[in-house]
A and B are shown apart, each in its own frame.
Chain A
Amino acid sequence: MNKAIEVKGLRYAYPDGQEALRGISFTVSEGECVGLVGPNGSGKSTLLLHLNGILPDSIDDSTAVSIHGNPVSNRTISVIRREVGLLFQDPDDQLFCPTVYEDVAFGPQQFGFAEDKIRSIVAQALSQTGLAGFEQRPPHHLSIGEKRRVCLAGVLACEPKVLALDEPTSNLDPRGKRNLHEILRSLPVTKVIATHDLEMVVELCPRTIVLDNGSIVADGPTAELLGNEELMLKHGLEKPHILRHHHPH
């Protein structure tokens, strides 16, 4: 299997000196879906921001992250940003255009695609996320679930090979969650999902990485890790309900 993401000894400290990541190493193969779990402030979001070079602020050539064998550097950054799609935690940060159509078209426009091609890409991204007919809606009239899906459509329109998702189900109602699970399941790309929604991890990710205080404390099969009550409680998590009962509900 080809390596989609390779991270070797990644360290990062915020400008105020606080260490966020203390030497992180892992690889993700193409097509894998990995859950990234850990308590608040463990460094999940910071790690995701490194995957497409938003952090660190200036990248020298001794970079710790490679995507499909390409090290993330100033030279490769524009290719990497296209390959890795990032879904932010707060949809209002990511939806910055006056209409849904324009927002989803933003990425393809930056790549300089022709107008017809953009139109067909946007139509496809919107139908993939169940948003056909939302083109002219202004983002401030959407529900949070719809906003999240528009964000995802905007990311998908860039045709990424790797998806890095930061808390994709936070603040969603159960139907919104289920809806998003289905959409994510239908996408054949490599996925890294940072979340507190452990039920989703059990459902979608065969593999889990547990992060605490800027270090990886466990990396392995989801059922084994999340089923380990001691490990979960030690790192501010809990054994998900679906793993507690062995009979089907």
Chain B
Amino acid sequence: MRHEFLDRYSRLESSIHRLPAMLKLFTATILVITTMTVPANHAWVFITIAIILVSTGFASRIPWRFTIGRLFMLEPFALGIAVMALLQHNGIDVFLAILIKSTLCLLTMILASNVTPFSEVLETLRRLRIPSLLITILALAYRYLFVLIVEGDRLQRARRSRTFTAGRAKKWISLSSLIGQMFVRSSERAERIFAAMTSRGWK
């Protein structure tokens, strides 16, 4: 089974994919910072950023279906906060500002993570002298996210294959035990990974 939910297109072939990772990471950071700090009345800044992002999106050959889908998946987290703004005086302006800014930031990150393989991101961070412990943690998190998802899928399938009544309460109870199981399994796996690391000289 292949899981590529995070960065499915990060290994495509395109002019954008071929650019050095350092440049892409740097540009993405600048775009996010600019989007966040420029006051909302400077519309031309946001229009420029949007044009940059859209042309990057086309040049990278990442299907727009995927990008937009990802955007819809992530946007509710930002909008959840933005909705609160509607309750106050002049709230609609604040709401729109947050909507535009969050969309641009998310779009930047979705594109950035899908035009750069994660191993190259880590390599860049290493060259920027980010502490190696932090990089190791990021690398492990990325690596085991996939293992965890596959394991969660397996547990859920096993649970479904023996679920005969569809009572909602029962479902929730078994879901909570599934989450507990995942937790126990992950901590046991963490110990085995640590053993594997020490047996190859990690100190």
**Interface on A for B, CB 8 Å cutoff?**
49, 52, 54, 78, 81-82, 84-86, 88, 90, 92-99, 102, 106-107, 110-111, 136, 138-141, 154-155, 158
Contact = CB atoms under 8 A, between A and B. Distances in A.
A199 B167 CA distance: 49
Interface in B122-153: 122, 139-140, 142-144, 146-147
Nearest to A51: B199
Nearest to A102: B119
Given A78-B201, A107-B201, A110-B202, A96 B119 contact: no
Given A49-B195, A96-B193, A98-B122, A139 B143 contact: yes
Nearest to B138: A98
B139 A98 contact: yes
9 contacts: A49-B195, A52-B199, A88-B192, A97-B139, A97-B143, A102-B119, A102-B139, A106-B202, A140-B146
Chain B at the A interface: mostly helix, strand, loop or mixed?
helix
A32 B187 CA distance: 36
Contacts of A99: 119
A52 B192 CA distance: 14
Contacts of A90: 192
Nearest to A93: B192
A224 B142 CA distance: 49
A86 B201 CA distance: 11
Contact of A98 (B2, B143, B193, B195): B143
A226 B128 CA distance: 58
B184 interface: no
A84 B195 CA distance: 13
A154 B201 CA distance: 12
A17 to B, nearest CB: 18
B200 interface: yes
Which of B122, B196, B199 has the most A CB atoms < 10 Å from its CB? B199
A97 B139 CA distance: 6
A98 B118 contact: yes
A148 to B, nearest CB: 13
A98 B126 CA distance: 14
B120 to A, nearest CB: 9
Interface of B: 2-3, 117-119, 122, 139-140, 142-144, 146-147, 189, 192-193, 195-203
Contacts of B143: 95-98, 139-140
A140 B4 CA distance: 9
Contacts of A94: 193, 196
Contacts of A85: 199
Contacts of A155: 200
A81 B119 CA distance: 27
Given A82-B201, A106-B200, 20 more contacts: A78-B201, A85-B199, A86-B196, A88-B192, A90-B192, A92-B147, A92-B189, A93-B192, A94-B193, A96-B139, A96-B140, A96-B197, A97-B139, A97-B143, A98-B118, A106-B202, A107-B200, A111-B201, A138-B117, A154-B200
A98 B200 contact: no
B189 A93 contact: yes
A223 B119 CA distance: 48
Nearest to A158: B200
Contacts of A111: 201
Nearest to B2: A141
9 A-B pairs with least C-beta separation: A110-B201, A140-B146, A107-B200, A98-B119, A93-B192, A94-B196, A86-B199, A99-B119, A54-B195
A85 B199 CA distance: 7
A190 B122 CA distance: 37
B198 A138 contact: no
A54 B198 contact: yes
A136 B201 CA distance: 23
A210 B142 CA distance: 40
Contacts of B193: 93-94, 96
